[in-house]
Chain A
């Protein structure tokens, strides 16, 4: 089944403890992206990648890192999480072509205390 898989679904952590949210897709998509969703603010793009070893900042990249060493994986790294990074996170992927739809993962609900 074609899908984007994020793990974990729920994560509670403490300020400053490094964490990684994994994202994997099995559709051979070139493009992958991370979003965070907060009440009243909609979905905001954190980072995106147009292909292996190519990453770019979105609208809210501060406090996050990403890497794209393989086409299928696009992990989101929080080196020193802070409470303002408490949010619902989504990974998504698509082909590089205009008009191709984004496929979303099921989300990761992160709480930083």
Chain B
């Protein structure tokens, strides 16, 4: 199935810095969602951006979407230790019907104190 691919696979930054991770996909989407996974736990929905939106904010999260490049980015500003987690993008494709959200390998983010 089609899915997004996150990049980088791993990212380590100092607390207080900003973290940026990217997602690429291959076909037309209806929307793209970002999820967070704390170690071994179920994924938690963070933010949704629709195909007709270019940028969206939620607290310290900023998501951008460039449908011409088929890519999205997630920016976490002023990172905290609690942001240490894996982050996944999930493009929802325009195939008609909710036939599923699939995930890639994620970006593992480590925030150093």
Q: How far is the CA of A101 from the CA of B104 in the complex (A)?
A: 17
Chain B residues near A100 (CB-CB < 8 A):
98
Cβ of A50 within 8 Å of any chain B Cβ, yes or no, is: yes
Assuming the contacts A104-B44, A106-B41, A107-B41, asked whether A50 and B98 have C-beta atoms less than 8 A apart, the reply is yes
Chain A residues near B101 (CB-CB < 8 A):
33, 94, 102
Q: How many residues of B contact A (CB 8 A)?
A: 26
Assuming the contacts A50-B98, A99-B30, asked whether A42 and B44 have C-beta atoms less than 8 A apart, the reply is no
Please provide the chain B residues from 58 to 113 with a CB less than 8 Å away from any CB of chain A in the complex: 88, 90, 92, 97-106
Chain A: number of interface residues, binned into ranges: 20 to 34
Q: Is the CB of A105 within 8 A of B48?
A: no
B35-46 CB mask vs A (1 if < 8 Å, else 0) is 100001111110
Q: Is the CB of B30 within 8 A of A98?
A: yes
Please provide the chain A residues from 80 to 113 with a CB less than 8 Å away from any CB of chain B in the complex: 88, 90, 92, 94-107, 109
Assuming the contacts A90-B43, A92-B42, A96-B98, asked whether A102 and B104 have C-beta atoms less than 8 A apart, the reply is no
Chain A residues near B40 (CB-CB < 8 A):
88, 107, 109
Q: Is the CB of A99 within 8 A of B42?
A: no
Q: How far is the CA of A4 from the CA of B1 in the complex (A)?
A: 24
Cβ of B33 within 8 Å of any chain A Cβ, yes or no, is: yes
Q: How far is the CA of A107 from the CA of B40 in the complex (A)?
A: 8
For the A-B complex with A33-B101, A98-B92 known, give 17 more contacts whose Cβ atoms are closer than 8 Å.
A31-B100, A40-B105, A41-B105, A43-B103, A43-B106, A45-B1, A45-B103, A58-B100, A59-B1, A59-B102, A90-B42, A92-B42, A96-B97, A99-B48, A105-B42, A106-B42, A109-B40
Q: List 30 A-B pairs, Cβ < 8 Å.
A: A4-B42, A33-B100, A42-B105, A43-B43, A43-B88, A44-B102, A48-B100, A50-B99, A56-B99, A56-B100, A58-B100, A58-B102, A88-B40, A90-B42, A92-B42, A94-B101, A95-B98, A96-B97, A99-B33, A99-B92, A100-B98, A101-B45, A101-B48, A102-B35, A102-B43, A106-B41, A106-B42, A107-B40, A107-B42, A109-B40
